[in-house]
Structure 1
Amino acid sequence: MAEYKHGEMDITVQEKTFEQFIKWSMRVGIFSIGVLIFLAIFNG
């Protein structure tokens, strides 16, 4: 079994994936809020 040394693993791919996930989540959240505001204004 290989020796494990804390903090030496390359995690750049995981960091980029997480960054893209956060950006996507923010866009979906903002879009959803926009749709709710649109419905509140023009639905009634």
Structure 2
Amino acid sequence: MKSELYRSIPRCGNYHRPRFYEQFLKLWELILLENSFSFYYAEFM
């Protein structure tokens, strides 16, 4: 799973990669947070 995510990240220059990767991680965190919240909400309703 992790390697597939890493492979989907475009191979750009070393200068751009860290910044892009940081944004990607933030987005991934947000998605996970949203999913866990909706799951939690569904469990207790």
TM-score (norm 2): 0.67
Greater relative contact order (CA < 8 Å, ≥ 6 in sequence): 2
Deviation of 1:12 (Å): 2.5
Which residue matches 2:32?
29
Q: Which amino acid aligns with 1:13?
A: H
Structure 1 or 2: larger helix share? Answer: 2
Which residue matches 1:19?
22
1:40 aligns with 2:43: yes
Which of the pair has more CA radius of gyration? 1
Alpha-carbon distance in 1 for matches of 2:31, 2:44: 20
Unaligned 5+ segments in structure 1 are 1-9
Alignment length (residue pairs)? 33
Unaligned 5+ segments in structure 2 are 1-12
* Shift >3 Å, 4+ stretches: none
What is the aligned-residue RMSD (CA, Å)? Answer: 1.2
TM-score (norm 1): 0.68
